[in-house]
């Protein structure tokens, strides 16, 4: 059974970099599938951030592309998110998930539990 | 960017009733539409993918239909655990986008 767990700081100062890691268990990232990050501001809807393959190929939401880097570490079975120059609008629950379609543009299943990241000084 | 509009925003129903949720895309996404259920404090759970395919473990009371720009999620008879927020998501075009959600609440 595939499980995903998000970890990282819950508080980030404005203009700094948000860094989160998603650890995958029950499946080896190098065996395939794409892996994604999605966020949800408090009380609001979902926004796709980006997706990565075990080879390192990435796909980003154009609205965030200039500030986002998603990378993968197959040796640790993890993938990571970095979002630079954060502002209050980046406060959200950040989820990691597997792209269940086997392509980079699919549906997400399963999801990690999510981590609330607050941007505040 | 494809905009997904979900309606109604809130649906007030009683257990045992039928729920019909709508998702309309600003342009065709073929049948590349998924539905998720989200309960408070939990991550979304995939219900339906590619318009009409139930995800693993999803009970048959959940069904999806539609293609092009108009999609429907139907819950044939609401169980107490079905009261939640439902989101649609398209994968027909980059970037992947989600609808604003429909809250199904107990009447």
A72 - beta bridge partners? A79
pLDDT digits 0-9 by tens, A3-28: 999 999 999 999 999 999 999 999 99
What pLDDT, on a 0 to 100 scale, did the predictor assign at position A82? 98
Does residue A105 carry a pLDDT above 90?
no
pLDDT average, residue stretch A84-113 = 94
CA distance B33 to chain A (A): 8
Q: In 3-state terms, what secondary structure has residue B107? A: coil
pLDDT band at A37 (very low <50, low <70, confident <90, very high): very high
Compute how many other C-beta atoms are within 10 angstroms of the C-beta atom of residue A102.
Answer: 10
**What pLDDT is stored for residue A103 in this prediction?**
81
Q: How far is CA A19 from the centre of its chain?
A: 9
- Asked whether B87 and B6 are in contact (CB, 8 A), the reply is yes
Mean pLDDT of chain B: 97
Cα–Cα distance for residue pair B56/B23, rounded to 1 Å:
22
Give me the pLDDT at residue B77, please.
Answer: 97
Contacts of B96 in chain A (CB under 8 A): 48, 61, 105
- CA atoms within 13 Å, Cβ hemisphere of A69: 8
A16 inside 8 A of chain B by CB: no
Strand order in the sheet with B62-67: B4-7, B19-25, B70-75, B62-67
Percent over 90 (pLDDT), chain B: 100
pLDDT recorded at residue A100: 87
Whether A94 and chain B come into contact, CB under 8 Å, resolves to no
* pLDDT for A4: 98
Residues 47-66 of A with CB under 8 A from B: 47-48, 59, 61-63
Provide the pLDDT for residue A32.
87
Q: pLDDT, tens digit, for every residue of A46-76?
A: 999 999 999 999 999 999 999 999 999 999 9
User: Which residue in the set A107, A109, A111 is minimally distant from B91, CB to CB?
Assistant: A107
Out of B36, B91, B95, whose CB is closest to A61? B95
Q: Which three-class secondary structure state does DSSP give residue B15?
A: coil
Q: What is the pLDDT of residues B42-82, one digit of tens each?
A: 999 999 999 999 999 999 999 999 999 999 999 999 999 99
pLDDT of A104 over the 80 cut: no
Mean pLDDT of the region A99-107: 86
- 10 Å Cβ neighbour count for A112? 22
- What angle is formed at CA B101 by the lines to CA B71 and CA B56, rounded to 5 degrees? 65
Detail the DSSP E strand segments found in B1-107: 4-7, 10-13, 19-25, 33-38, 45-49, 53-54, 62-67, 70-75, 85-90, 97-98, 102-106
């Amino acid at each position: 059974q595939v499980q995903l767990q998000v970890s990282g700081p819950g508080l980030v100062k404005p203009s700094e970099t948000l860094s989160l890691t998603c650890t995958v268990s029950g499946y080896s990232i190098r065996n395939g599938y794409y892996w994604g990050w999605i966020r949800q501001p408090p009380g609001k809807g979902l926004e796709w951030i980006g997706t990565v393959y075990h080879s390192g190929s990435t796909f980003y939401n154009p609205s965030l592309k200039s500030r986002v880097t998603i990378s993968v570490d197959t040796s640790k079975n993890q993938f990571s998110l970095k979002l630079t120059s954060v502002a209050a609008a980046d406060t959200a629950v950040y989820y990691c998930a597997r792209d269940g379609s086997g392509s980079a543009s699919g549906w997400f299943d399963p999801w990690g539990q999510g981590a609330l990241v607050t941007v505040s000084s | 960017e494809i905009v997904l509009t979900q309606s109604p925003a809130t649906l007030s129903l009683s257990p045992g009733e039928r729920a019909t949720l709508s998702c309309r895309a600003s342009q065709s996404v073929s049948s590349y539409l998924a539905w998720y259920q989200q309960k408070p404090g939990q991550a979304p759970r995939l219900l339906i993918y590619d318009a009409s395919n139930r995800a693993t473990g999803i009970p048959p009371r959940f069904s999806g239909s539609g293609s092009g720009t108009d999609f429907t999620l139907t819950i044939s008879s609401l169980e107490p655990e079905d009261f939640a927020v439902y989101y649609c998501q398209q994968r027909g075009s980059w970037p992947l986008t989600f609808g604003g959600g429909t809250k199904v609440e107990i009447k």
